[in-house]
Chain A
């Protein structure tokens, strides 16, 4: 076994692409994706403000908007210009304070403040919609307060009669709605899964034996696979460990549970991933085709994790497909450990959800047995990688 691992290390050393995949590509990928989202909280998003009233009240409302850290109001003279800016994605929302807003309020009419937000950019649009309403509503209570006081209401009861019920909303587990804590871990795990898959497929493809325009498996494929698993699992776990350390130690994102439990879950995910890759590799037995097939299978893994869009609202077919992806099993453990702080026993119970992958084992054994049936003995056989290097 030691010899096989040495041989594996040797071939890793001789392949620049493979070496890049296990060394600097994951690091660059992880750091670049984090850097992209490193702002964390959406701030100062441009909003078009069309003030057709230009009264004391409308100016007070625009000051209220400017005081919100999410909103950066930009004044527009008329609606046409604001609509143009919105169509060109220069602003993400627009607020129209209507003509004679103050007069209508004073005379007991019923004015309407129009808000339009760009829902094509769903995340930004939704955030702006709620923040705009919040800021404007706060400004409007000032007006209500004044009116009540003018009517001779008692100062102490004014607040209560304006808003008898106050709302207190708490974002559990991710207090400030930080995007780095929400979006970056699943993205990095999806990237890590892709990289691990590529590393394993590449190293397997090297072992194919070429004979009479067909590829066959070598006779000692079992030992080779064990050596690869023993070598590449720790290497890839180093990278996932780096992700965890970077996010939860260096950046100091809150983590309720023990990170070592997560490493265990990552190992389980890797083993499940290896099994899937082995099935595909043995069924295809051609390097470009196994890479393409694995790519097709694992590229959309992020969409199926259920972080951006809840699992319960996915159609049944998507929920089944989700169970095929090892990353979606892992991300459940990730969220429970990081957010809910569950302990080792629960993590182990969650790892039990991989049981379906065990059915792949007999398939792999069968395919391996089938693939080894080389019509001639190995003497007159050219190695696949030799052929590839020509």
Chain B
């Protein structure tokens, strides 16, 4: 059997196995729709907030109106007491409250100062930050208005008054993901992980089912088998990766900074290392339904240890060190730096080399493991 025939046989074996086809093609397609589904609206808007207005003056009503005008906040009702507001939050009808103290307007006009209190349900961080941002912006706005009125009343020139209120501008702008959208945040890392896990599952199921039966895999040398299997899987995954990193990134509005050649160059060792790791681990499985289970349990820890959800600096060092042998971990961070943050090739060079190193190690182990499996199989048959 030459290499081409072997690759053809591999292809047939993959396509003949329903479980692999479902995982590789069905799973990858299904997840590309299902995972980003909850995040399609990108930013949380119009969070329900209740107001406890103890002042009921023109100014307190102005603050309420300004808060309601914020895109992040929807004022639901004006309640009589804080207790009542608590009940609303407890029942899930509202997620935040704004308390305007009694004599709010009077104190301000007398120059005594007043305090606006905001509360947000911090059981949900995104809701909390939306509520806090919206209410603080409304409060700051009201504060400036009061200042302006005060300055004008003291006979200041309107233009000068304006300037002395806003003496310095803090221009805070998000970089890389300028819309602050949730899909551009989640999709790049998550999709690489999906590719990683399905590739592992595919090679795992193929191995686990073949080792039990006689077949073409016994007739060739282990290195030939590993090379053929790896090239077939990498070929299939180059198509799936193009779909994920190409079309899906475009569809989910992920910001893209690298050239196609750079992305391809980076994906190559990632797919090779993952495929080789899959072949190594496939030699451990005895049953066909085990690979899916093991990789399913592993997927959440791998996602969180890769460092785009929770900063790597805060993850305990031993976990970070141990996770470096999983190809997805350097790949996710490297790809983010290369493709989303626009770091140059030199910056991700170490991670690229790390992936090649992982590939070399896994490749050697894979050849040894497959050779042992072949020996076992012939020993049983003899």
Contact = CB atoms under 8 A, between A and B. Distances in A.
Interface in A188-206: 190-191, 194-195, 198, 202, 205
B309 interface: yes
B304 A33 contact: yes
Nearest to A314: B38
B113 A165 contact: yes
B172 A123 contact: no
Q: Which of B31, B255, B311 has the largest count of A CB atoms less than 10 A from its CB?
A: B311
Interface in B108-133: 108, 111-129, 132-133
A223 interface: no
Given A117-B175, A161-B147, A309-B126, A140 B168 contact: yes
A169 B319 contact: no
B173 to A, nearest CB: 6
Given A42-B311, A303-B35, A314 B341 contact: no
Contacts of A92: 311
A124 B89 CA distance: 27
Given A32-B301, A299-B296, A164 B309 contact: no
Interface in B70-129: 89-90, 92, 95, 108, 111-129
Q: Chain A binding site: helix, strand, loop or mixed by DSSP?
A: helix
22 contacts: A36-B316, A44-B313, A86-B341, A87-B344, A89-B341, A115-B171, A126-B180, A157-B111, A163-B113, A164-B150, A169-B132, A170-B118, A171-B119, A171-B122, A172-B89, A172-B119, A173-B122, A174-B122, A187-B304, A292-B27, A296-B26, A300-B34
Given A191-B300, A310-B47, 20 more contacts: A17-B290, A33-B304, A35-B316, A36-B301, A36-B310, A45-B311, A87-B342, A89-B343, A112-B171, A119-B175, A121-B185, A130-B129, A130-B132, A167-B140, A168-B115, A168-B118, A177-B122, A309-B44, A309-B182, A388-B287
Interface of A: 17, 21, 25, 29, 32-33, 35-39, 42-46, 84, 86-89, 92, 105, 108, 110-126, 129-130, 132-133, 136-137, 140, 143-144, 157, 159-161, 163-175, 177, 179, 182, 187, 190-191, 194-195, 198, 202, 205, 287-289, 291-292, 295-296, 299-300, 302-304, 306-310, 312-315, 317-318, 321-322, 332, 335-336, 338-342, 388, 390
Interface of B: 18-19, 22-23, 26-27, 30-31, 34-35, 37-41, 43-48, 89-90, 92, 95, 108, 111-129, 132-133, 135-136, 139-140, 142-143, 146-147, 150, 163, 166-178, 180, 182, 184-186, 205, 212, 255, 287-290, 292-293, 296-297, 299-301, 304-305, 308-311, 313-316, 319, 333, 336-337, 340-344, 347
